[in-house]
A and B are shown apart, each in its own frame.
Chain A
Amino acid sequence: MIRLILIIFFNSLGFSQTLSVSVNKNKINMGDVITLNIEIKGGNDIGEIDLSGIEKNFEILNGPSEQNNYQWINGKEKKSKTLSWNIAPIRLGRLKIPALSVIVDNRKLKGNSILIQVAKTSQNQTKDVFIFVDLDKESAFLGEQVTLTYKLYKRQDINIVSIDHFVMPDFKGFWYEELYTPQRLQYNSQPVLINGLKYQVANLGQRALFPIVSESHEIPPIKVKIKIEVKNKKRKRDVFFDPFFDSFFSETKTKILTTENEIIKIKTFPIPRPEDFTGAVGDFNINANIDRDKLIVNEGITFKIEMSGTGNIGLFSLPKIIFPDFIEVFKPTESFKKDKFRNQLTGTKIWEYILIPRKSGEITIPQMKMSIFDPKINNWKSISTKPFNLQVLRDSTTTLYNSGLTKKEVELIDKDIRYINTDEYKLNKKGEMNYSFIAVIYVFSGLFIIFPVVFSYLIGYRLSSENDRRISGAFRKNIKILRNKENGNEFEIASYALYSYLKDRLSLATNNLDPNQVRIILQNKVSRSLFDKINDLLVICDEGRFSPVAYEKRNIVIDEMFKILKQIEKELK
């Protein structure tokens, strides 16, 4: 009784929730899909279901799909909710679906754990449907094209209802170009025989891969989900199901198809590697052209380099072209035209340079040479453009008046040269100079110098005598005597200097001068005041020689005489 009451009580409180976890099968092959169902009976507030425990071993393909069930039995409501997921194993072996827990109405419900046995799809077992990565080569050079094709194989009697859109993987270590992407599944008309069984093949997509410098060159596996029709033989005989409607009500089965991980080996380039190799691998032709070969300074010209062929076109740059210094080069514009109808990447790449010569003259656009690697012959190849000669003409309108002036010498910008000289002119023979005038002058100069010598030689008259030299040297000689005080009496020196000076200067014959004679000689030759001074000084000198009275003046007498000699020299001139 008490139990019954308790049950009723619990029921009324809503404590009757249960959780059950189930799968549709527990022994599967790799690539099969199982359905995971979680059924919650009762409960109003159903929380999130944490599926993180599953993701270790399984991939969740889709879900959850929800199914709600309401039942009214005897006025009582019975409610259940089923959530289902499609999951696919990602590993082999015994995989465990851990016990899942859900919070329902603030109660934590825990389900049971399930073991699932995943077997490897045996090799011998012929697969009905599979996908396959088709690589045209297993090893390649850097930059060499590897063509990748995803192919779907199916037995002829299998009907694929739908195929999910699949994402191309990141081709790590490759640069890729799309070659083909199908819009819908389309089988080749010609079936392929594998192990004696006929398969139909469909192309799921094609890419041109070019290995670039990278640590690994790996093509990761892809997964494609398809639905195939299950032919239920039992039903065919069913009374209620007419075979005619078979297709409408056919059952489908989801299948996951995977490819294997593929690794591409990178071959090393043969040595020596040319210096002008910039990474071009393939078979290319190069061509250059200019739009004209004659132009005027500061005009632009288009220099086009066209490279066409098969290979990793667009993946490499041109070697640096060294243009002459005075050509202004603008960054080239690149354009690329892809030829889509071939599964080898083919196309034409065009580099267009705009060149502006800044000087006139003959200009050569140099040859451009580059090395490419041709994987077909497994060796290097050199391709080159031909050089061009450009005729850059002077700009007839601007060069004449201000070419270069604009930049350089601002002050001369507007100025023009001065007009030609049309005055009277006289043309002279080159290198002929009139030296006759100079020669005449030289002869005259010579005559002037020689004449006095010859003259004096002829008539015996010495124009320049020893006397002259003595006259001119008189002053200097006697100053020296005066300065040389050591030898003897100051008074004697002073008077001797004067006598000696006068004798030399005036070319006197006598050797014995005395004050009286000096007076007579100088009377009219010097000024009165000087004459008196000389007179006084001579008296002092005479007295000094004999009387001790004047002796005191010996210190000044030399200086006095010096001044007097200077004065005389001046006045005699």
Chain B
Amino acid sequence: MKINIIIICFTSICLSNNANLLMDEGNELMINEKYENAIKIYESILNLEYESAQLYFNLGNAYFRTGQIGNAIWSYVNAQSIEPRNDDVKYNLEIANASIIDRIEMPRLFFIIQTYKTIRDYFTMLEWLSLGSIFLLLHSIYYFMKKLWLSKVFRNGFISLLLLLGMIFSHLFALEHYLIGKRNRNAIVISNAVDAYSGPFFGKNKILFQVNEGSMAEISKIQKNWFEIVLIDGKKGWVEDKHLRLF
């Protein structure tokens, strides 16, 4: 009852669009270990179309504390996409990942690809774009100087090349981030023992495999309330949408 009243109060606050107040309240509930309520508050902020790495981080903690690993990972991954270099987020995500049941062993990527991915994910798209634009600015200043002063320093093609490469790669990384974000076909399994069927309905379809909470999946097809998911190890199957949470 009490909780209901609190929720009603919060919805009224939501209407007044005061997301910050909700955030304060959510943090307060977290401190008092009322995780279930905190989740409701944080999710309501997300419903208001507000987000921040901190919000996702705290929400992830609340989910983790209530044992909902799938949702916790979802939150941490979202937090990480906003603040990729946040150490706490990274740490908690590792712990949450250690708690999932399905251990899909990934073949080790070729180290160049691995390095590429590490570099790419070190900055967000906005950061890469900013970096690229700064490189562009520096290069154009360099060009400007070269034209204007004819100084020997600016005749050095090496610096120019360096700036040019920096600019190109930054923009490529930003572009890739943009494309990944636009595809947005990743989801996380949020229920345990989810049956993946061979077709998008129950009935005579065979259960191909089972996935558990916390497993990452890529969505390849959508039909009504069914998703065809592809797991990291290549397994494909149809799963009801209620078991998944999209990024």
Contact = CB atoms under 8 A, between A and B. Distances in A.
B10 interface: no
Interface residues of A, number: 55
Contacts of A360: 192
Contacts of A419: 61
Contact of A421 (B20, B58, B147): B58
Interface stretch (B106-114, B126-134, B232-240): B126-134
B51 A463 contact: no
Interface string B160-203: 00000000000000000000000000000001110000000000
Nearest to A453: B147
A403 B150 CA distance: 68
Contacts, number: 136
B67 A396 contact: yes
B246 interface: no
B144 A449 contact: yes
A193 interface: no
Nearest to A419: B61
B67 A403 contact: yes
Interface residues on B, range: 35 or more
A154 B61 CA distance: 92
A416 B148 CA distance: 60
B129 A324 contact: no
Interface string B112-142: 0000000000000110011001101101110
Contacts of B66: 400
B221 interface: no
Contacts of B125: 433
Nearest to B135: A445
A427 B57 CA distance: 13
B193 A363 contact: yes
A438 B141 contact: no
Nearest to B103: A408
A325 B210 CA distance: 9
Given A359-B193, A468-B150, A451 B144 contact: yes
Given A324-B193, A405-B98, A452 B148 contact: yes
Nearest to B96: A417
A99 B54 CA distance: 115
B51 A427 contact: yes
B37 interface: no
A573 B153 CA distance: 10
Contacts of A72: none
A446 B150 CA distance: 20
Nearest to B136: A445
Contacts of B64: 400, 417
B99 A403 contact: yes
B49 A429 contact: yes
Interface in A399-433: 399-400, 402-405, 408-409, 412, 415-423, 425-431, 433
Contacts of A324: 193, 210
B140 A449 contact: yes
A389 to B, nearest CB: 13
Contact of A420 (B30, B98, B139, B140): B30
A412 B129 contact: no
Residue of A404, A405, A412, A573 with most partner-chain B CB within 10 A: A404
Nearest to B99: A404
Nearest to A393: B67
B51 A428 contact: yes
A419 to B, nearest CB: 7
B101 A427 contact: no
A430 B99 contact: no
A425 B191 contact: no
Given A399-B67, A417-B95, A468-B150, A434 B126 contact: yes
A420 B27 contact: yes
Contacts of B57: 420-421
Interface in B47-77: 49-52, 54-55, 57-58, 61, 64-67, 69
Given A359-B212, A425-B52, A430-B49, A408 B98 contact: yes
A363 B133 CA distance: 55
Contacts of A363: 193
A506 B213 CA distance: 76
A452 B193 contact: no
Interface stretch (B1-9, B86-94, B222-230): B86-94
Nearest to A324: B193
A558 to B, nearest CB: 28
A523 interface: no
Nearest to A411: B98
Contact of B143 (A396, A417, A448): A448
A361 B137 CA distance: 56
A249 interface: no
A359 B101 contact: yes
Contact of B136 (A326, A403, A442, A472): A442
A423 to B, nearest CB: 7
A545 B143 CA distance: 47
Interface in A425-472: 425-431, 433-435, 437-438, 441-442, 444-449, 451-452, 463-464, 468, 472
Contact of B65 (A325, A400, A441, A463): A400
Contacts of B134: 441
A396 B65 CA distance: 10
A441 B133 contact: yes
Given A359-B193, A405-B98, A442-B133, A425 B54 contact: yes
Contact of A409 (B88, B98, B126, B141): B98
A394 interface: yes
A434 B55 CA distance: 19
Contacts of A429: 49-50
A400 B94 CA distance: 15
A184 to B, nearest CB: 63
B19 interface: yes
B39 interface: no
29 contacts: A326-B210, A362-B193, A404-B100, A408-B99, A409-B98, A418-B92, A420-B31, A420-B57, A422-B27, A423-B54, A425-B23, A425-B54, A427-B19, A427-B52, A428-B50, A428-B51, A430-B46, A430-B49, A431-B49, A441-B136, A441-B137, A442-B133, A442-B136, A444-B137, A444-B140, A445-B137, A445-B139, A463-B148, A468-B150
Interface of B: 19-20, 23, 27, 30-31, 45-46, 49-52, 54-55, 57-58, 61, 64-67, 69, 88, 91-92, 94-96, 98-101, 103, 125-126, 129-130, 133-134, 136-137, 139-141, 143-144, 147-148, 150, 152, 155, 191-193, 210, 212
Interface of A: 324-326, 359-363, 394, 396, 399-400, 402-405, 408-409, 412, 415-423, 425-431, 433-435, 437-438, 441-442, 444-449, 451-452, 463-464, 468, 472, 573
Given A400-B65, A422-B31, A438-B129, 17 more contacts: A324-B210, A359-B193, A399-B67, A404-B98, A415-B95, A417-B64, A420-B31, A422-B27, A425-B20, A426-B52, A427-B45, A427-B55, A430-B51, A441-B133, A452-B143, A463-B147, A573-B152
